[in-house]
Amino acid sequence: MTNTYITNATWALTGQKLDLRMGQSGDESTSIFLDDIPLYGVNGVTDAGEMKIPEGARVIDATGKLLLPALFDMHAKIEIPGCSKRESIYRTGQAAIQGGVWGMLVMPTKGFCFDNASTLDSFADAVTQRSAATMVPAGCITEGMEGNQQTPYNTLAARGVSILSDAENVTENILMLHRAMKYAAELGLTFAIRGDVPALTRNTFMHPGTTSYKLGLHGTPACAEEIGIETLIRLAQDAGAKLHIQTVSTAEGVAIIRRAKQAGMKNLTAEVALHHLLYTHESVGDYDTNFKTLPPLREQSDCDALLDGVKDGTIDCIVTDHTPCLPFAKKQDFVSAPQGMVALDTFLPAIYTQLVKPGKLKWAEVVQACCVRPTEIVMPYDQEEGTPMIAPLMLFDPTTEVAVSESIMNCGTLNTPLLGSTINGSVTLPIY
């Protein structure tokens, strides 16, 4: 088997034109870095046109295409309620590869409740057999995600778990959470939790504002998220625990995290879901359930503050918050319909179309928030080699126009507001 050569690729971060020689499976090669980003499977890099390519070698002409490290999604649910678990794993893996995602942190759900060793083992086996993408499970903070009794963290850690989360569930048992953080801190585990005060958000359905008033829907106050974030930060500081704030949605939430980091809290990271950068509560329009999310979509000023947080590093990661929902569930009335949208299939093209192309984010910022930082947080070191994990490379064609339709949605559900629209960009992953 010969090496694969990629010619005339453009390194997205700088615009430099490159030729690369991709190593064969089993080749011994040292890591190659561009702009401090390690390149996986690359044996040689030169300026375009300078690499000597042997006759008969496999050559990929990447003229007009961008070279990027593949993305890592820190927040995805893969269970499709009522469907085969193995089919969910397969479909999600295909969706991830199409969206430029090589790996993801999988949130626990009722069907994939990662609170014991046997569930983790069976999931790992299924992923190995069925998924084209790497899937890393987040262990449950509490048994059954019920918020009462903590799971056996030492057992989960022995199975490779590094992140603990109860997904959308936020416990009201602060004493249990504080004790759990102290215990988990000794094992080096990270708590991934969203800010919330359940007593303030129970039976609320969207952001309080002109749209909720017009539609007659109870609003979810922003202060509930902000009080929750403050509480989690104080608990983690006292316990000496690592804390990752999930799906920040408000401007004040960003400000709270920024202040904590500036005050020297090193074990604090945070994420924003892509939809909280792109849409506002006004997008709900006339009860469009595709825009019903958790936390809810906020004001334009919140979107702007979140984007600023990504740019200055206050917000470490942009995530999909991929949440499959069957069509009949989303066709219910707004109050009854489940929260969430799917985003893996369209992740990188949507980021390019709505953030990079208009000049709101640079490619270097996208790579930092969607590849480097998520990988560092979820799996900072290869357990066998003790070396930093390296993302594979992908090619991205920004000139392609893609109509978002049922035919391109690999994930198995259609709950996305992009359905019927056109986005730019297509992904080749893997490229060797």
Which amino acids are annotated catalytic?
321
Beta strands in 256-404 (DSSP E): 268-273, 317-319, 393-403
**324 and 79 in contact (C-beta within 8 Å)?**
yes
Q: Which residue has the tokens 């069509």?
A: 327
Left, alpha or beta for 145 (phi > 0: left; psi -120 to 50: alpha)?
A: left
Residue 340 CA to its chain's centroid (Å): 14
Type and span of the H or E element at 425: strand 422-428
Q: How far is CA 140 from the centre of its chain?
A: 18
Long-range contacts of 36-44 (CB under 8 A, 24+ apart): 37/13, 37/69, 37/367, 37/371, 37/372, 38/388, 38/390, 38/391, 39/69, 39/390, 39/393, 40/69, 40/390, 40/391, 40/392, 40/393, 41/392, 41/393, 41/432, 42/393, 43/3, 44/20
Beta bridge partners, 242, equal: 190
